[in-house]
C-alpha cells in the first residue's frame, strides 16, 4: 500500500509558502496542508501553489490545500513557520514576546490532536520557539528540530563562493550558535 508523505505547515506567509513551494518542486511531499490564523490567506496561498503544481517543470505532483489542525493526526512532518516580520532595527530575540504568544496559541491547538510525526521549527527566535513547543507538548527531543544556523551557513557559502569564484557545492563551511545575532563562523 502506498503511504502518502504528508506535511502540515503552520503559517502561510512568505516562509511557509516558500517551504510548500520547495516541497512541491522537490517532490518530497504528496500532501501539503497550510494552516494560518488568517484562513483566507492560507486558502489563497494554497490555490496559488496548487496552480503552480499544474505548471511545475519539475514533474512532481502534490495535493495542496488549506486545512485545520486535525490534519496533523496522520501527518509525517509539522513545519512551524508562524510569526511576524522583524521591524527595522529589531533582532530575532526582540520578537520573543510576540512569538511566545503565537506559539502558545498554536500549542493550544496541538494539544487537541494526536500528532506523532516530526516537528521542524522555523519561527523566530527559532531555537527558543522550538524548545518551548517541545517542552510544552512533552515531545521527545528526537522529534523536534530547528533550522538553527542553517540560514547563516547558507549565507556564508554564498559569500565565500562570490569571494573565491568557487561553486558553493565545492565549499564546506558552517556557522554555529543560535540563529540570529549570536551565531558565529567556525
Catalytic site residues? 179
> Is the four-CA dihedral 32, 35, 39, 45 of positive or negative sign?
negative
Query: For residue 50, what are the contacts with CB-CB under 8 A and spacing of at least 6?
Result: 63, 64, 65
Residue 118 φ/ψ, nearest 5 degrees:
-110, 135
Do residues 135 and 115 lie in contact, with contact meaning Cβ atoms separated by under 8 Å? no
Cα dihedral across residues 19, 77, 126, 123: positive or negative: positive
For 33, the enclosing helix (H) or strand (E) is strand 31-35
Q: How far apart, in whole angstroms, are the C-alpha atoms of residue 184 and residue 27? A: 33
Amino acid at each position: 500500500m502506498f503511504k502518502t508523505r504528508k506535511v502540515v505547515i503552520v503559517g502561510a506567509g512568505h516562509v511557509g509558502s516558500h517551504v510548500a513551494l520547495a516541497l512541491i518542486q522537490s517532490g518530497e511531499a504528496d500532501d501539503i496542508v497550510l494552516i494560518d490564523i488568517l484562513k483566507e490567506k492560507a486558502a489563497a496561498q494554497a490555490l496559488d501553489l496548487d496552480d503552480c503544481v499544474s505548471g511545475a517543470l519539475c514533474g512532481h505532483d502534490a495535493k495542496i490545500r488549506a486545512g485545520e489542525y486535525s490534519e496533523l493526526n496522520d501527518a509525517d512532518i509539522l513545519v512551524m513557520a508562524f510569526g511576524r516580520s522583524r521591524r527595522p532595527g529589531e533582532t530575532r530575540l526582540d520578537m520573543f514576546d510576540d512569538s511566545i504568544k503565537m506559539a502558545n496559541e498554536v500549542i493550544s491547538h496541538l494539544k487537541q490532536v494526536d500528532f506523532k510525526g516530526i516537528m521542524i521549527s522555523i519561527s523566530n527566535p527559532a531555537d527558543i520557539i522550538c524548545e518551548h513547543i517541545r517542552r510544552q507538548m512533552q515531545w521527545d527531543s528526537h522529534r523536534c528540530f530547528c533550522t538553527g544556523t542553517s540560514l547563516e551557513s547558507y549565507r556564508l557559502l554564498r559569500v565565500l563562493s562570490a569571494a573565491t569564484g568557487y561553486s558553493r557545492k565545492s565549499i564546506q563551511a558552517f556557522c554555529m550558535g543560535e540563529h540570529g545575532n549570536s551565531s558565529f563562523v567556525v
